[in-house]
Amino acid sequence: MKLLIKNGTVVTPEGERRADVLIEDGIISEIAETVKEDCKTVDASGKHVLPGLIDIHVHLREPGYEGKEDIESGSKAAVAGGFTQVCCMPNTNPVCDNAVVVSYIKYRESQVNLCKINPVGAITRGEDGTAMAEIGKMKQAGAVALSDDGKSVMNSDIMRLAMEYASGFGLKCLCHCEDKDLVGGGVVNEGYNSMLAGLKGSLRAAEDIMISRDICLAESLSVPVHICHVSTYSGVDIIRSAKKRGVQVTAETCPHYFILTDDIITSYDTNTKVNPPVREDKDRAAIIEGLKDGTLDCIVTDHAPHALKDKQVEYNLAAFGISGIETSFALSYTYLVKTGHLTLPQLVGKMSAKPAEILSLTGGCLKEGAPADITVVDLNAKYVIDGAKFVSKGKNTPFNGYEVYGKIVCTVVDGDIKFGE
């Protein structure tokens, strides 16, 4: 089984070069200026050939919420978005807090056979914040990290224990940072626009307090920690200074936090409702700075598909979340690279090598001998985002009508074309 990707520009975090890529039996066997081989060929003339994109924060909703998404529809959406590998959050029903659910997801991954799926196990049983989940057994079954995503573990002593256990098993906690009491039912960022809209706001402090707490725990215990979906300028500062002190902290953000501000909430479009909420321009600018200086290590989607009925209700009642996996690359390319904030190799690093490194996943590199997980993109292709056309069951995007550059041409996983061509 051979596949040749010809005439493209190969991009890695180290730089760009014109090269052909030959794949044999799922492994990249040769990268050279010209490779001659009589086999199936993808013509990548004028296109860019990237290491397969990796998203370490998605919600696939299965088991339990298949009306919103399932492992098959989510995987189809992932490869359509150029992702060869994802990590799925445990806020399913039942919660992925034990080895059986982890194994079920791994089984579904092999059945669906599109992108690689790495389950994230819950930190606490039922994500209820009171008792630790079966960390060791979940790791054995294939969990790559732990999170109670959707909420914070409010009890700091339980969080401490979890972080110690997790590190003992070589796993990281992925922290959704939100002080539940301080959020107190807020649905948007607290500020001028929440006042104007008459919607209950949530302070930056609600996020920052938990970012600080989790960093304090990681620092005191000398264990690693990963901060999810950073949305505040102050959170970026907290992480930056922790990194300077040598704390083992990594962090992610999402396209909506470096593109949108809470000006959009006055439309009452429930597709703008996401947790943490989109904030103000100084937050947006600081997040871009954080991406540029490496404070924010990687870009994730927090792909949170919801059914129409979960969003077609009044703002206060609508579900939090954005279906983001099909727009992440184009939005990131358009708003970070075309604007000059990041180079293309830097963006590629934040969407493949870094996420792999953070969770010690195999992948995220395009070199001879590596698994052939590859994404081919057409950076000149311009299109208008239309959520109705998403492959995902979740059509919930605040980016309808946005004109972006960067179409996914082809997604290759272990040498097999899973999308395009």
Q: Is 179 in the site for Zn ion (CB under 5 A)?
A: no
Closer residue to ligand DOR in complex, CB, 51/235: 235
Q: Is 275 in the site for ligand DOR (CB under 6 A)?
A: yes
Q: Is 176 in the site for ligand DOR (CB under 6 A)?
A: yes
Contact code string over 126-165 relative to ligand DOR, x by CB under 6 A: -----------------------xx---------------
Please state, in angstroms and rounded to a whole number, the distance separating the CA atoms of residues 362 and 154.
32
Stretch that binds ligand DOR, among 16-24, 186-194, 236-244, 318-326 (CB under 6 A): 318-326
Closer residue to Zn ion in complex, CB, 132/177: 177
Q: Which of residues 317-346 bind Zn ion (CB under 5 A)?
A: none
Q: Is 76 in the site for Zn ion (CB under 5 A)?
A: no
Closer residue to ligand DOR in complex, CB, 28/105: 105
Q: Is 61 in the site for Zn ion (CB under 5 A)?
A: no
Instruction: Please give the structure tokens belonging to residue 79.
Output: 């490869």
Whether the CB-CB separation of 56 and 252 falls below 8 Å is answered with yes
**Any bridge partners for residue 51, and if so which?**
374
Q: Is 284 in the site for ligand DOR (CB under 6 A)?
A: no
Please, which residues have CB within 8 angstroms of residue 381's CB and are 6 or more apart in sequence? 405, 406, 407
- Which of 59, 204, 284, 354 is close enough to bind ligand DOR by CB under 6 A? 59
- Which of 274, 337, 404, 410 is close enough to bind ligand DOR by CB under 6 A? 274
Instruction: Please give the structure tokens belonging to residue 57.
Output: 């924060």
- Which of 113, 320, 357, 420 is close enough to bind ligand DOR by CB under 6 A? 320
Task: Give the Cβ contact number of residue 92 at 10 Å.
Answer: 23
Length of the chain counted residue by residue: 421
Q: Which residues are catalytic?
A: 302
Place of tokens 């690693």: 224
Instruction: Please give the structure tokens belonging to residue 254.
Output: 């999402």
Task: Give the Cβ contact number of residue 37 at 10 Å.
Answer: 16
Q: Is the peptide bond before 94 cis (omega within 30 degrees of 0)?
A: yes
Phi-psi region of 39 (alpha: psi -120 to 50; beta: other; left: phi over 0): beta
Residue numbers at the binding site for ligand DOR (CB under 6 A)? 59, 91, 149-150, 176, 274-275, 304, 319-321
